[in-house]
């Protein structure tokens, strides 16, 4: 535990939550950039795969990479909670982070009162990054569909 749970101010909570959010934003930007660049290169190559197969591969590859990325982002939040001692002892940190990140929040585990803002900050970060992923999937699928003019 890095920060004592005594005398934790709102500013401390916002600083820690903003730091974790920023790290996740950078991780997600790198992931989305790599996916977009790879798919752009794939679209520029002449392929012998039928459009349906290429379309399916784009969906599966993009979805798989994004799920892995979101899992990693939840792990960053879990380590953040551990680092500051934001949850009760013996809490499954990954479970807690996923619940907050996805806004599911079962309510069976709550942060210690001194760190209560980290849950909503995790949720805000998760909503933003999941929305960004959704936009990427939509854009990539939209671009990967070959129109008769593009098929030449």
Query: How many alpha carbons fall within 13 Å on the CB side of residue 96?
Result: 24
Name the pTM for this structure. Answer: 0.85
Alpha helices for the chain (secondary structure H) = 10-44, 51-84, 93-101, 118-144, 148-151
CA–CA separation, 101 and 3 (whole Å): 22
Q: Which position has the higher pLDDT, 54 or 3?
A: 54
Mean of all residue pLDDT scores within the chain: 86
Across the range 88-97, mean pLDDT stands at 94
Domain boundaries defined on the chain: 10-145
Average the pLDDT over 95-117 and give the result: 92
Q: Which residues contact 111 (CB under 8 A, 6 or more apart)?
A: 81, 86, 87, 118, 119
CATH code matching the domain that covers 10-145, chosen among 1.10.287, 3.30.70, 4.10.860, 1.10.3470: 1.10.287
d(CA 87, CA 142) in angstroms, rounded, equals 42
141 pLDDT higher than 70 = yes
């Amino acid at each position: 535990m890095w920060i004592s749970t005594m005398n934790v101010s709102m500013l401390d909570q916002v600083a820690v939550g903003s730091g974790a959010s920023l790290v996740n934003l950078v991780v997600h930007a790198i992931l989305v950039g790599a996916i977009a660049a790879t798919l752009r290169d794939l679209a520029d190559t002449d392929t012998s795969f039928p459009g349906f197969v290429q379309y399916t591969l784009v969906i599966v590859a993009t979805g798989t990479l994004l799920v892995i990325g979101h899992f990693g982002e939840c792990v960053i939040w879990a380590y953040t909670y551990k680092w500051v001692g934001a949850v009760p002892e013996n809490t499954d940190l990954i479970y807690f982070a996923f619940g907050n990140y996805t806004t599911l929040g079962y309510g069976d585990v709550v942060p210690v009162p001194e760190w209560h803002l980290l849950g909503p900050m995790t949720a805000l970060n998760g909503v933003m990054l999941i929305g960004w992923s959704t936009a990427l999937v939509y854009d990539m699928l939209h671009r990967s569909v070959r129109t008769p003019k593009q098929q030449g």
